[in-house]
């Protein structure tokens, strides 16, 4: 039975076993040594043996990456102690000259940068103290301390894929960001291409690929584990005054009514065999149609408002026309470009 009490703590707790295709799992082990008795304990050394390998009973596959330091605390203060690595799998802590553990004194051995073995299980560290108490002789006594290694958890899915600015001017530079583990391979898909081998949780397109119209970007994150896991996120950047290279309508848009965008504006109703112009979009009152020119086979209405009426036959510049003005009407005869007065023919007229 050891004269001193040994307690093992880990960060994180518990340690997580490393997994193939992912960044190695790392952690720290703290060994706390204290005197819980009522009599001082003189000590010279204690040796900590670390199980090295990648199996269930091993702590780490490589002890050379582990850094060790010790801090010894007594009633007079805290000071460092000498810690040396002993090949192939141990650390030796040596006491200062004349050191002893009074009741309540303690020492903390810190083992940092531990790459955790790849197999979940229980790793047992061995401790051998060289100490004495009272009339007992200085001797070696041993203890065993266990460390739990859990199976690696699934990598958290990436999240919060967004643009720094959700609305930009056409051609403006943008930056897309996301939160996610470096153990994924990332790529971003967009209408005119893709970006691969991304890292750092952010990406900006080249100037030629800056959005010129509303653009949806797709983030694809693929794990390096077996089996592979894939996560897909999207975000859209809206563009003020978008640039449209072309507009092609592949399917006709059919509607029975077109109205103005503001309250009280007119509308056009599409009826069987024709259209009706309405004063307002929701009324049946007929409104006015304004145009620079109209080609009609016939007019059926209560009133026609126009400045000139031309003859239908315009071959060889021979046509007649009527000018409608404030004082009445004037009939013109045009022959080869002249505007002589023409004649009005009627079966009857009233004056």
Radius of gyration of the chain, Cα coordinates, nearest whole angstrom: 46
Q: Give the tens place of pLDDT for each residue, 294-331.
A: 666 766 665 666 666 766 555 555 667 777 777 778 87
Cβ neighbours of residue 147 closer than 8 Å, sequence gap 6 or more:
8, 10, 14, 15, 29, 59, 122, 123, 124, 125
Establish how many alpha carbons lie within 13 A of residue 121's alpha carbon, considering only the half-sphere containing its beta carbon.
14
Q: Give the tens place of pLDDT for each residue, 137-155.
A: 889 999 999 999 999 998 9
Laid out side by side, the sheet with 159-163 consists of 159-163, 176-179, 202-203
Confidence of residue 348 (pLDDT cuts 50, 70, 90): confident
* Cross-strand partners of 90: 49, 86
Higher pLDDT, 177 or 320: 177
Q: What sign has the CA pseudo-torsion 244, 250, 253, 258?
A: positive
In the chain, what are the domains? 5-150 (2.60.40.1530), 159-240 (2.60.40.10), 254-292 (no CATH), 302-351 (no CATH)
N- to C-terminal Cα distance for the chain? 140
Confidence of residue 251 (pLDDT cuts 50, 70, 90): low
Q: Give the tens place of pLDDT for each residue, 290-302.
A: 776 666 676 666 5
CA distance 284 to 276: 9
Mean pLDDT for 68-86 is 94
Q: Which of 319, 350, 323 is nearest to 336 (CA)?
A: 319
């Amino acid at each position: 039975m050891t004269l001193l009490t040994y307690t093992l703590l880990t960060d994180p707790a518990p340690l997580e076993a490393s997994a193939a295709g992912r960044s190695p799992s790392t952690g720290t082990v703290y060994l706390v040594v204290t005197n819980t008795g009522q009599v001082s304990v003189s000590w010279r050394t204690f040796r900590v043996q670390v199980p090295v390998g990648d199996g269930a009973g091993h702590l780490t596959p490589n002890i050379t990456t582990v850094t060790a330091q010790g801090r010894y605390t007594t009633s007079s203060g805290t000071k460092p102690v000498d810690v040396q690595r002993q090949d192939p799998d141990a650390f030796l802590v040596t006491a200062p000259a004349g050191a002893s553990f009074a009741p309540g004194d303690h020492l903390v051995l810190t083992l940092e940068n531990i790459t955790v073995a790849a197999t979940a299980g229980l790793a047992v560290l061995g401790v051998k103290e060289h100490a004495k108490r009272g009339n007992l002789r200085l001797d070696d006594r041993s203890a065993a301390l266990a460390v739990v290694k859990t199976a690696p958890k699934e990598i958290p899915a990436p999240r919060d894929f967004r643009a720094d600015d959700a609305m930009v001017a056409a051609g403006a530079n943008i930056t897309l960001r996301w939160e996610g583990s470096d153990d994924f391979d990332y790529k971003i898909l967009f209408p005119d291409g893709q970006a691969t081998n991304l890292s750092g949780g952010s990406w900006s397109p080249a100037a030629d690929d800056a959005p010129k119209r509303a653009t949806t970007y797709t983030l694809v994150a693929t794990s390096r584990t077996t089996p592979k896991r894939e996560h897909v996120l999207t975000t859209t950047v809206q563009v003020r005054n978008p640039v449209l290279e072309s507009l092609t309508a592949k399917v006709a848009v059919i509607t029975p009514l077109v109205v103005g965008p503001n309250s009280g504006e007119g509308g056009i109703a599409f009826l069987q065999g024709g259209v009706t112009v309405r004063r307002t979009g929701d009324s049946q009152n007929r409104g006015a149609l304004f145009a620079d020119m109209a080609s009609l086979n016939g007019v059926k209405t209560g009133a026609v408002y126009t400045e000139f009426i031309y003859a239908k036959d315009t071959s060889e510049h021979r046509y007649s026309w009527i000018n409608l003005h404030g004082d009445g009407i004037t009939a013109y005869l045009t022959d080869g470009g002249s505007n002589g007065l023409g004649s009005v023919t009627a079966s009857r007229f009233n004056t």
